[in-house]
Structure 1
């Protein structure tokens, strides 16, 4: 199971943590893991290339954690888009991905 925690502050996403493996199919053929990996890695790459915002990212096999230090309109839109994509995957493959929202104070 892939576990996603979307962090929000005052109703705006500030980061996300993704861990685990879907187990939808064998390694190399798991479309759920592949989709989640593409969304999360593209998020980090897009923020780095298109925004001047500071962010922290920790990424290893089966783990991704990104926190925006500054949330501009651009980086916020990229993060919102990634979380929307993850939620769409969650609707289609709910047995393989679990998504939770955590309000940060």
Structure 2
């Protein structure tokens, strides 16, 4: 199971943590893991290349954690888009991905 925590402050996403494996298919052919990996990697790369915002990212096999230090309009849209994509995957593959919202102070 892939576990996603979307962090929000004052109604706006500030980061996300993704951990686990979907186990939807055999290794190398798991479309759920592949889709989640593409969304999270693209998020990190896009913020780095298109935004001037500071952010922290930590990733490893089956783990991704990104926190925006500053949330500009651009980085906010990118993060919102990634979380929307993860939620869409969660609707179709709810037995393989779980998404929770956590409000931060």
- Shorter-normalised TM-score: what interval? over 0.9
Q: How does 1:9-28 map to 2 (within 5 A)?
A: 9-28=9-28
Q: How does 1:19-98 map to 2 (within 5 A)?
A: 19-98=19-98
TM-score normalized by the length of structure 2 = 1.00
Shift in Å, 1:38: 0.1
Q: What's the RMSD between the two structures over aligned residues?
A: 0.2
Report the counterpart of residue 104 of structure 1 in structure 2: 104
Unaligned residue ranges in structure 2 (runs of 5+): none
In structure 1, C-alpha distance between the alignment counterparts of 2:66 and 2:33, rounded to whole Å: 17
Q: Which runs of 4+ in 1 moved over 2 A?
A: none
In structure 2, C-alpha distance between the alignment counterparts of 1:76 and 1:20, rounded to whole Å: 25
- Describe the SS at the equivalent of 1:59: strand
In structure 1, C-alpha distance between the alignment counterparts of 2:58 and 2:27, rounded to whole Å: 22
Tell me how many residue pairs correspond in the alignment: 105
